[in-house]
């Protein structure tokens, strides 16, 4: 009898929650253009307004400071490219990012290097924590924007965003954080962190793919990436994805409601999973183990194996996991995140990430741990 598969790649994408599915199906039955003036258009606009209000409450900002986008990568790009291209102060042409940012941030910053901005990539320590001394040294009156993620998508390592944002504010710089991985697990209200811009993506917490949000604490000028109509307060042209946005709001409401219990339960079963893996697999290294982390990500570096071979073996054995960020799936090369943390080259080749949802069961992780140990033995 075939064993039921165990999905442990929730940091890549999550199944759609029942609440999000219901909201989507309700909205799609009357999916008219919210910019139209007739009754059908007004009904669609009412759904859009309701979703914007709910997301704004969850993130602690006025509704006018919410911009719906096509996902986390677009939200990051709009924050960085949109803000920088709107900058009027020519004396501030410096942008600081960490070496372990998602490629959406790193590549957006790289694009600005060709537009006259100086890009400073800040180092991290062996646990993936930002080098605070380097940050203080590089942050100055020339800095326009800082972009540091709240939680790393490969390791789950958390950065001290309130302290970093306060320093940026004192220097007169904007502060953006990519909170895509964190929204399900942490209170992501902008006031809680003191950030100016914050990005999240719905498919990381039970909404359909294709909807993200860029939230702003105040009025920040954003040069649009897409031109056309004046949707999203002029920041993103194109007819809004009302069913997807309605589902996003429903999924975020559920994530907020479940958050405290989910963090408590998943932290406990992750710690048990990691302890079993350490006992069963000699030399196993947990990336970022000594740093504050999200509760739902375990990143292992295993000596003597190649990530691709292990992931294929796990897939055959019924386990869905990944080597790191799904946005680079199919490209098996050492992770820039793990490399920035200084892990020795032999271990970099054997990195595998397991990530969990609030619904992940302890017994499923116990089974996955046994399968992992056997799979490592087979591919070594």
Q: Which residue numbers are catalytic?
A: 327
How far, in whole angstroms, is CA 274 from its chain's centroid? 22
| Structure tokens that stand for 115 in this block | 């537009």
* Counts for the chain of helices (H) and strands (E), in that order: 13, 12
Helix/strand/coil for 273: helix
Q: From the CB of residue 116, how many other CB atoms can be counted at a distance below 10 Å?
A: 9
State the burial class of residue 275 (Cβ atoms within 10 Å of its Cβ: 0-12, 13-18, 19+). Answer: exposed
What's the Rg (C-alpha) of the chain? 21
Q: Measured between alpha carbons, how far is 94 from 138 in angstroms, rounded to an integer?
A: 9
CA distances from 234 to 5, 74, 226, 231, 317 (A): 45, 15, 10, 5, 49
For the chain, how are helix, strand and coil distributed in percent, rounded to 5?
A: 45, 15, 40
Cα distance between residue 300 and residue 61, in whole Å = 37
**β-strands 197-201, 212-216: how paired?**
antiparallel
Phi, psi torsion values for 215, nearest 5 degrees: -105, 145
The alpha-helical segments, DSSP class H, found in 183-222 are 190-193
- CB-CB contact of 350 with 304 (8 Å): yes
């Amino acid at each position: 009898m075939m064993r039921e598969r165990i999905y442990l790649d929730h940091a890549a994408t999550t199944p759609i929650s029942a609440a999000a599915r219901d909201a989507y199906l309700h909205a799609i039955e009357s999916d008219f253009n919210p910019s139209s003036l007739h009754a059908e258009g007004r009904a669609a606009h009412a759904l859009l307004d309701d979703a914007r209000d709910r997301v704004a409450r969850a993130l602690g900002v006025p509704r006018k400071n919410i911009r719906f986008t096509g996902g986390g990568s677009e939200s990051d790009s709009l924050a960085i490219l949109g803000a920088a291209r709107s900058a009027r102060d020519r004396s501030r042409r410096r942008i600081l990012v960490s070496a372990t940012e998602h490629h959406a941030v790193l590549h957006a910053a790289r694009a600005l290097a060709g537009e006259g901005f100086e890009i400073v990539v800040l180092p991290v320590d062996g646990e993936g924590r930002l080098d605070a001394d380097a940050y203080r040294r590089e942050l100055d009156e020339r800095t326009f924007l800082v972009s540091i993620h709240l939680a790393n998508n490969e390791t789950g390592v958390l950065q001290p965003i309130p302290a970093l944002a306060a320093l940026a504010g004192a220097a007169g710089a904007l502060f953006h954080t990519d909170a895509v991985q964190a929204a399900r697990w942490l209170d992501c209200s902008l006031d809680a962190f003191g950030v100016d811009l914050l990005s999240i993506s719905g498919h990381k917490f039970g909404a359909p793919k294709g909807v993200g949000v860029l939230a702003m604490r105040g009025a920040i000028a954003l040069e649009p990436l897409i031109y056309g109509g004046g949707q999203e307060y002029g920041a993103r042209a194109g007819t809004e994805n009302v069913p997807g946005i309605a589902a996003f709001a429903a999924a975020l409401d559920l994530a907020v409601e479940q958050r405290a219990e989910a963090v408590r339960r998943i932290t406990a079963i992750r710690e048990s999973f990691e302890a079993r893996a350490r006992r069963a697999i000699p030399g196993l290294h947990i990336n970022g183990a000594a740093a504050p982390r999200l509760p739902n990500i375990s990143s292992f570096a295993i000596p003597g194996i190649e990530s691709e071979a292990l992931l294929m073996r796990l897939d055959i054995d019924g386990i869905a996991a990944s080597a790191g960020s799904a946005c680079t799936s199919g490209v098996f090369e050492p992770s820039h995140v793990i490399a920035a943390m200084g892990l020795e080259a032999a271990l970099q080749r054997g990195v595998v990430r397991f990530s969990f949802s609030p619904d992940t069961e302890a017994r499923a992780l116990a089974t996955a741990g046994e399968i992992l140990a056997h799979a490592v033995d087979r591919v070594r």
